[in-house]
Amino acid sequence: MQLGVLKALFTDKLTKLYRLSEAENIFYMVLYYLEKKSKTAVLLGQETMLGDTYVTLLQSLMDGKPVQYVLNEAPFYGLDLFVDETVLIPRPETEQLVHWILEDHPNFQGSVVDIGTGSGCIPLVLKKHWPYAQVSGCDISTEALKVAQRNSKEQNLDVIFFQKNILTEELEPYDIIVSNPPYIAHSEKDDMHENVLEYEPHIALFVDDTDPLLFYKTIILLAHQQKSTCYFETSEYYRPELDNWLKEHNFSFVWQPDFQDKDRLLKVTFD
């Protein structure tokens, strides 16, 4: 079968769930995963066999399962990481956060911890760029830590992963603290994509509606005691409330917009 015909078959089915551009991207991810071929192969009119694997993958995709979980793979800032349904799929905004940290601290050699590490995406990239730093990641979830450790081994990057409930346990001092904590209130569920709700781990997404800023406040107060520089990903809805809270405490902070020009990346520093 011509790859162009296969692409048409995929996009025809997937546009029932996704926009055309997203459906095409998913097809190209599958093509690369199965045959290590890119868009050029399609444009050149190359042929392929429509095997069982294509059909099985298409079926899972049509069930609404995100392509990264179907392929057990997610790209993140130059690393191809293993992911499954026990960890959040790493997002482009988080790559932006990592980019900001790396720009702020070239050749960093101190200590850093990522709180709520999921797949380990943040500390693994930091370790790749900072070979002499002491890089750690923690999470409350045993399953997520297994994935992070698997990625550390597969990428040959020496990151220390450990279990911690950051809301109830102490944390030893670090020079830098990074976190993309759970920040979606349960009341926002109705606005979310069905496949995020169905497939991504709720412990990674949701925070108690009574205080959606709980993780930020807890981590910033910890960082204040330790004089650690902190970097966060957050929701654009929280900027006014976080601004007020940070000003009340006299903490220095700066926002950076994400790709969609939303203030979702935050740095907090202490003298």
Ligand X SMILES: C[S@@+](CC[C@H](N)C(=O)[O-])C[C@H]1O[C@@H](n2cnc3c(N)ncnc32)[C@H](O)[C@@H]1O
Residues binding ligand X (CB under 6 A): 88, 90, 94, 115-119, 121-122, 139-141, 144, 164-167, 180-182, 203-204
Whether 10 and 31 have beta carbons less than 8 Å apart is answered as no
Helix axes 121-129, 92-104, angle to 10 degrees: 30
10/76 with CB nearer ligand X:
76
As measured in angstroms, the least distance from the Cβ of 107 to ligand X is: 23
191/271 with CB nearer ligand X:
191
Rounded Cα–Cα distance for residues 31 and 240 (Å):
44
5/102 with CB nearer ligand X:
102
Those residues with Cβ within 8 angstroms of residue 19's Cβ, 6 or more apart along the chain or in another chain: none
Rounded Cα–Cα distance for residues 120 and 172 (Å):
19
Choose among 80, 244, 110, 247: nearest CA to 178.
Answer: 110
35/93 with CB nearer ligand X:
93
Rounded Cα–Cα distance for residues 77 and 97 (Å):
11
As measured in angstroms, the least distance from the Cβ of 143 to ligand X is: 9
As measured in angstroms, the least distance from the Cβ of 117 to ligand X is: 5
As measured in angstroms, the least distance from the Cβ of 124 to ligand X is: 10
Pairing of strands 263-269, 229-233: antiparallel
11/179 with CB nearer ligand X:
179
As measured in angstroms, the least distance from the Cβ of 208 to ligand X is: 11
As measured in angstroms, the least distance from the Cβ of 2 to ligand X is: 37
On the 0-12 / 13-18 / 19+ scale of CB atoms within 10 A, 39 is: middle
51/78 with CB nearer ligand X:
78
Query: Of all residues in this chain, which one has the CB nearest to ligand X in the complex?
Result: 116
